[in-house]
Amino acid sequence: MKKQAIVSLILILSMLVLLLSSCGEPGIQGTYLDANNHVIVEYTDGTTEDLGEIKAKPSEESKESETSTPADDPFTVARVDLTDDLHIVITYSNGTTEDLGYVGVNVSPKVYKVVFLDIDGNTISEQQVTKGNAATAPDAPVVADKTFVEWDKKFDNVKSDLTISPIYKDAESYTVIFKDADGTELKRETVVAGHAATAPKNPTKTDKVFTKWDVAFNNVQSDLVVTAVYRDKNTYTVTFKDYNGVALGTVSVKEGETAKAPVTPTREGYTFKNWSSELTNIKSNLTVTAKYTMNSGTNIIDVSTSVDGKTLTVVVAVKGTVKFCGMEGSFAVPSGLTYVSATDGDGTVTNYSAGTIYFMFSSSNGQNVTKETTLTTLKFNIGSSAPETVKLTTTISDIYDQKYDTVSYKVIGQSIKLK
């Protein structure tokens, strides 16, 4: 029908658009061809109008053929459409199309409300969808003992308001059996399809470590036998050291077991408290150091040490209940050690002469010191012939308070382990 009928139709539509535009009437929503070959116009307010029958003019070839039918005629109109860019398009019975031009109307697309419900009728998603477009389905809620099948309505080409509900079916159940590596059954349970089984407590063996279960059971879809997997235990070394870094011994421990200290260490003027790390559930090579608590006392001259290879560091500090103003004293360098240097604390002056280290301390304001303070830090080289233990003999020649009265004191830590 590329003839007068189509031209007339376009003129009618154009005049109709102009008339509606000037009157402020609703715009055209779309067009279609009904069963009687009439062109129907849909308006944005939901009303329709019949523009009359389209009478296709047969082609010359169909006139000459006695067996020809309207459906054979390429000029028989099959459909009339209004495109998104507002053109009238004719589709003929042979599948060809013809664009008859721009209609010239400002069409507002129809929008519909699409609501998705859960199994109890509660809204889980509400969407505004333009006519002909698809809604986006939410994830169907998980329902105990049921399996989601589908939504009860199609929503890929929305042409009206829709309320969509989920369809479920009773879920199947499966048996999950947990076994130890030797086949011993540890647990048996029934699990709804798609759900997870609950594993028993990880099994244990004296000489092995549990690592995993051999198959996944977080989404059960069949009967399952789940078996424990083990590996051999590793052996680790735990090294014990005193507070000053001197080794006290080592022990070998199976993975996950408890290390036993070879000795309970002692330190003059201190009480052993604990080791620097827990000795239970050993899972790597470990070095632990003894920790102590100082015993109470007044003006404790603490000679503490640390050994690093061939270097000995000695820190001389006043600890405990501190109450003094000045002090003088000396240290005799033991055989096997070579004096290297001294780093003075606040208020201390240190000198070395002929195998003896001399020091003098006085408070900066002439008042008693009342908090722990470091007097000096000494460095020595350890000779190859040095014994396992040496004594750093300490002589305090004078110690006094702010009234220059002699005060009590105690020296600890003079016996030094080098190895």
Any idea what the CATH number is for the domain that residue 387 is in?
A: 2.60.40.680
Query: Which structural domain range is residue 311 located in?
Result: 300-417
- Is residue 387 located within the same domain as residue 317? yes
- Is residue 241 located within the same domain as residue 228? no
Res. 115: pLDDT tops 80: yes
Q: How many domains, in total, are found in the chain? A: 5
Residue 346 DSSP one-character state: T
Check if the beta carbon of residue 320 is closer than 8 Å to that of residue 294: yes
Q: Rounded to 5 degrees, what angle do the CA atoms 358, 315, 294 make?
A: 120
215-249 per-position pLDDT tens digit: 999 999 999 999 999 999 999 999 999 999 899 99
Separation CA 255–CA 207 (nearest Å): 9
C-alpha distances (whole Å) from 11 to each of 18, 103, 297 are 11, 10, 115
C-alpha distances (whole Å) from 186 to each of 177, 199, 260 are 8, 9, 33
- Is residue 325 located within the same domain as residue 405? yes
pTM passes above 0.75: no
299-344 per-position pLDDT tens digit: 999 999 999 989 999 999 999 999 999 999 999 999 999 999 999 9
Contacts 24+ apart (CB under 8 A), 97-100: 98/2, 100/6, 100/9, 100/10
Instruction: Return all residues near 394 (Cβ < 8 A) that are at least 6 apart.
Output: 301, 303, 316, 329, 330, 331, 411, 414
Q: Could you say which of 56, 72, 102 is where a domain stops? A: 102
- Is residue 163 located within the same domain as residue 194? no
Q: State phi, psi for 239 to the nearest 5 degrees.
A: -105, 130
* Confidence category of residue 296, pLDDT binned at 50, 70, 90: very high
Q: Could you say which of 294, 312, 344 is where a domain stops? A: 294
Residue 375 inside a domain? The answer is yes
Residue 218 inside a domain? The answer is yes
Any idea what the CATH number is for the domain that residue 244 is in?
A: 2.60.40.4270
Percent of the chain with pLDDT over 90: 66
- Is residue 32 located within the same domain as residue 86? yes
- Is residue 239 located within the same domain as residue 222? no
C-alpha distances (whole Å) from 400 to each of 40, 328, 331, 370 are 117, 9, 19, 13
- Is residue 71 located within the same domain as residue 24? yes
- Is residue 240 located within the same domain as residue 227? no
Q: Could you say which of 271, 294, 317 is where a domain stops? A: 294
162-218 per-position pLDDT tens digit: 999 999 998 889 999 999 999 999 999 999 888 899 999 999 998 899 999 999 999
